[in-house]
Amino acid sequence: MNTHSLLRTRSPRAGQRAYFLIEILIYIAVVLALLGVGYSAMYRCLDSSIALRRNADDIVGALHAGERWRTDVRSSTSQPRLEKKDAGESLHLDSAHGAITYHFCTNAVFRQLGGGTWVRLLPNVKSSTMTPDPRDEVTAWRWELELAPRGSGSVKPSRVRPLFTFITVPKRPATK
């Protein structure tokens, strides 16, 4: 057999092999592209899940703080006193357990019981105002609270703007 006839008999087979190799490379590229899109979507979902969890935790914390504030105002034995200074706003309450003070400064709400240590009641607070709300026969108290949106690193800040309003009425002193 001569060399020319040998090349001729092998060339159709070599062409088929090359065709299969190109096909396999295309399939690998398509699979890699699909995996890349899938992983990207998965990580976006994970980031959204983390942001949702943080928001839910902040909202639950704000609701607990609001209920504690309402309980403290209701149990006060005298009228609440509001004090505004450059350092922040403070609400002073007298109760059977001692003086209770709520203070807002540096993006957090703090609570102090009976002159003890300050406890950070609520972090990540954008604004907090406690005001008397005079009604017909009673003065209610209103606490308007706005939480700061959290987002760090790859996690985007939430689109939710958590605003809360808590209203309560102090217990009336017993009349004699």
108 burial (CB, 10 Å; 0-12 / 13-18 / 19+) is: middle
CB-CB contact of 132 with 82 (8 Å)? yes
Residue 79 CB neighbours (<10 A): 13
Q: From CA 52, how far away is CA 54, in angstroms rounded?
A: 5
CB-CB contact of 111 with 68 (8 Å)? yes
Question: Buried b vs exposed e over 23-32: b needs ≥16 C-beta within 10 Å?
Answer: eeeeeeeeee
Distances in Å between the alpha carbon of 87 and those of 122, 128, 141? 17, 13, 22
Amino acid sitting at position 157? P
Instruction: Name the pairing type of β-strands 108-113 and 119-122.
Output: antiparallel
Q: Is the pTM of this model over 0.85?
A: no
CB-CB contact of 15 with 8 (8 Å)? no
- Each residue's pLDDT tens digit in the chain (176 positions)? 555 554 455 555 555 666 788 889 999 999 999 999 999 999 999 988 988 898 889 999 999 999 999 999 999 888 899 998 877 889 999 988 889 999 998 889 999 998 889 999 999 899 999 999 998 888 899 999 999 887 655 556 666 678 999 999 987 654 44
CB-CB contact of 66 with 161 (8 Å)? no
